[in-house]
A = this chain, B = another copy of it.
């Protein structure tokens, strides 16, 4: 029985942890990402891993790493990560060399979904749709107790399903994607527009008087303070998020939809009624009746725990 070192690397942070083979988190360390150069990231990770091992005195079997994709699991290559600005980086090999340990890596949203399924509050659920609402919107699928990768490891991209034909332009270049209607950046954009128009004085005040400074967090705080403009923005985002989820529920018939991500967790109670309304209105009744909508139960540990499972599956011993 040996431990696994797990990493969750994002566009701006690096979280490291020591986990037992059963997925229990024994220790963690969190740092801001100091550079996005792949070798710098690997060296920062190696230092973080050393610090965790010194602190705990364990001799780990290897490293499981959650990282923004799309990536090719088999070769451990980041194919194209907009969050990190990487293209075709063989990061598993680079990280393995820097840490002198075997490495298995997988997409961060998929790792978080696997973590929730393996060690979350609702471990009985075998069919799960995981939706990550952060700056963008990502997602992952667990069906019949197996992570779904798709033909080229790109499955789960609910953020880029179209909810509104000819709708607003998305970060991916298409129009009308769920991400363009309900992500952190879309909320911020709608908030700035509203603040500029003079319709949202509360929002402008919360952002220190500058419409350009309005972020998704300001929209959420203004809505909680009773701003009708901010409430309208969140209601619209919730309705679109609900429509995107309803279509996935009709197609996949999951027991459980888990909402994660910074924006999703912060806004969960505010948007839940809109999501439930959309499910009743837009999802096929037998599928809508079978599903529960819940916030992520493992918080920022979900990715580490999923990365642990990914390592154990790749190196079963």
Contacts and interface: CB of A to CB of B under 8 A. Distances in A.
B254 A150 contact: yes
A154 B246 contact: no
Chain A residues touching B, majority SS: loop
A27 interface: no
How many copies of the polypeptide does the oligomer hold? 2
Nearest to A289: B152
Nearest to A244: B247
A21 interface: no
Nearest to A127: B151
Nearest to A172: B284
Contacts of A143: 143, 148, 150, 155
A212 interface: no
A26 interface: no
A219 to B, nearest CB: 23
A279 B70 CA distance: 19
B155 A252 contact: yes
Interface in A139-156: 139, 141, 143-144, 146, 148-156
5 contacts: A70-B286, A151-B255, A151-B290, A155-B251, A156-B251
A70 B150 CA distance: 26
Interface-central residue, A125, A253, A285, by most chain B CB under 10 Å: A253
Contacts of A282: 162, 174, 176
B254 A157 contact: no
Interface string A229-262: 0000000000000010011101111110000000
Interface residues of A, number: 47
Given A148-B143, A287-B150, A290-B151, A158 B254 contact: no
A2 interface: no
Nearest to A281: B174
Interface string A262-287: 00000000000000000001101111
A281 B127 CA distance: 30
Contact of A144 (B148, B248, B255, B287): B148
Nearest to A291: B151
Contact of A290 (B154, B174, B286): B154
Given A146-B144, A162-B247, A250-B160, A284 B151 contact: no
A87 to B, nearest CB: 13
A22 to B, nearest CB: 25
Contacts of A81: none
